[in-house]
A and B are shown apart, each in its own frame.
Chain A
Amino acid sequence: MSSKKNKEAFLTPLGLNNPVTVQVLGICSALAVTAKLMPAIVMGISVTIITALSNVVISCLRKTIPLRIRIIVQLVVVAALVTIVSEVLKAFAYDISVQLSVYVGLIITNCILMGRLEAFAMQNEPWPSFLDGIGNGLGYAKILIIVAFFRELFGSGTLFGINILNYDCVAGAGYVNNGLMLMPPMALIIVACIIWWQRAHNKDLQQK
């Protein structure tokens, strides 16, 4: 249940094999939802749940999937799962479904999902695949939260919508919110800074 390999599947995506900073997957959605902290957290949780579930489903089916159409099969499984979850939420938890409606398209097309299905779930048992999904989802959420923290703090001067920097004394000292922080390119720059920091601290990741 918690062999060394399983632990690795769960823990490495949080650090040395992070889906965003090392595998460089899911960058596009990292740009889209990180202008504020709250959507970043919601997106992180949703991707974690869907990656884990679709990893399990594909891992159960992995021996039956025809090789030549495996990507299509993976896509259909992911799309069906996301659609069913959003339909059920719409019926039983309408407010949450409204919050998530923006993310449905972003979740389906997130390359972390396809990347993990193709690289891990197609070769491994359901339980390690589940752990791999949770680990990669959390690794993705971690980066989103770091990026969103800086973008919201310096872009809007708030955190979770609560005022942090917008006071007269701060403005009087010559500080203004940086509108560039709210623009998508800034997310790329922050992600790049995280990658830089991580590579500088881990010699293994440096390219020879």
Chain B
Amino acid sequence: MANKKFKCTVCGYIHEGAAAPEACPQCQAPASAFVELKAEKKLPTGSNGYTFAYAAAMVIVVAFLLSFVSSSLRAKQDANVKLDTKKQILYSLNVTTADADAYFSKNVKDMILKNDTALVEYPAENFATLYETEGKANRYHVFVCNLDGQTKYVIPVYGAGLWGAIWGYVALNDDKSTVYGTYFSHASETPGLGAEIQSAAFQKRFEGKQIGDSTGVKISVVKNGKVEDAKYEVDGISGGTITSTGVDAMLKSCLGNYSKFLSK
């Protein structure tokens, strides 16, 4: 039988023979410290050609895998996002229901502003989930909701926090100026700090506040504990200053787009 190779695990000495030596000639380690080196075909992992080929193959395989996963799951994800958007809108109205889809189509009408003041119905099959793009296309949505006989208006808002996008929905009473409820969410704010805008405790602070008066949008988020005008101002989140400022800016800019409709 051909000679085998044994490697000492202590010092790396390589011994050739039928069995491991009793003691390593370099470091005197016993035979048990030797492991057999199996002859294996080594791939040319150092060569340029191999590196390029490997990188190319890897990119193609991963790209194919990701696009396959993404496109095969797209329809299901879109349906989930739509359902989630409806749930968020209902949450701003303090409605939590098991079948959000059915409740939504029964009680909520998706409308868009026409000539800044009038509302026209928006087809339900086109239900949008990205209100930033809708705003850029001059489609300002208002969700008109029938809540136990009362009319509520829900306005989508969007902006930027510290790390990424933040968005929300502001529900107004039928006087179009008193806040009935809010919902805020975020893509990647810091957990425990900025991410607290998603907590019910923060969202409840907006209830009963006034949006503004004839001079413009006045509702604002101020530094925690610095509320001077309780009619318009809401406590921010300590430690989440930039996110709080983001919510403030988001409310001012998005609700500003509706000022004519709201003051009518």
Contact = CB atoms under 8 A, between A and B. Distances in A.
A66 B47 CA distance: 8
Given A91-B77, A179-B239, A76 B62 contact: yes
B193 A35 contact: yes
Contact of B43 (A64, A87, A94, A98): A64
Contacts of B195: 102
A94 B55 CA distance: 33
Interface in A52-97: 63-69, 72-73, 76, 80, 83-84, 87-88, 90-92, 94
Interface of B: 42-43, 45-46, 50-51, 54-55, 58-59, 62, 65-66, 69-70, 73, 76-77, 80-81, 83-84, 187-193, 195, 238-239
A179 B187 CA distance: 24
A39 B189 CA distance: 12
Contacts of A94: 77, 80-81, 83-84
Given A34-B192, A94-B80, 8 more contacts: A63-B42, A64-B54, A80-B65, A83-B66, A87-B77, A90-B77, A94-B83, A182-B192
A30 interface: no
Contacts of A87: 69-70, 73, 77
A33 interface: yes
Which of B54, B58, B70, B187 has the most chain A CB atoms closer than 10 A to its own CB?
B58
Contacts of A69: 51, 54-55
Contacts of A73: 54, 58
A84 B66 contact: yes
When A and B form their complex, which 3 residue pairs have the shortest distance between CB atoms, in order from nearest?
A35-B192, A91-B73, A66-B51
B263 to A, nearest CB: 35
Contacts of B80: 90-91, 94
Contact of A101 (B50, B55, B62, B187): B187
Contacts of A152: 192
Contacts of A105: 188
Nearest to B80: A94
Contacts of B193: 35, 182
Contacts, number: 87
A76 B58 contact: yes
B82 to A, nearest CB: 11
A68 B48 CA distance: 9
B47 to A, nearest CB: 8
Q: Would you call the interface of chain B mostly helix, strand, loop, or mixed?
A: helix
A101 B188 contact: yes
Interface of A: 32-36, 39, 63-69, 72-73, 76, 80, 83-84, 87-88, 90-92, 94, 98, 101-102, 105, 151-152, 155-156, 179, 182-183
A123 to B, nearest CB: 13
A88 B73 CA distance: 7
B245 to A, nearest CB: 18
Given A84-B65, A91-B77, A64 B192 contact: no
9 contacts: A35-B191, A36-B192, A66-B54, A69-B54, A80-B62, A88-B73, A101-B187, A102-B191, A105-B188
Contacts of A68: 46, 51
A55 B193 CA distance: 33
Contacts of B84: 94, 98
B226 to A, nearest CB: 15
B141 to A, nearest CB: 22
A35 B199 CA distance: 14
Given A66-B54, A68-B46, A90-B77, A32 B190 contact: yes
A28 to B, nearest CB: 12
Given A64-B43, A91-B73, A94-B80, A39 B192 contact: yes
B69 A84 contact: yes
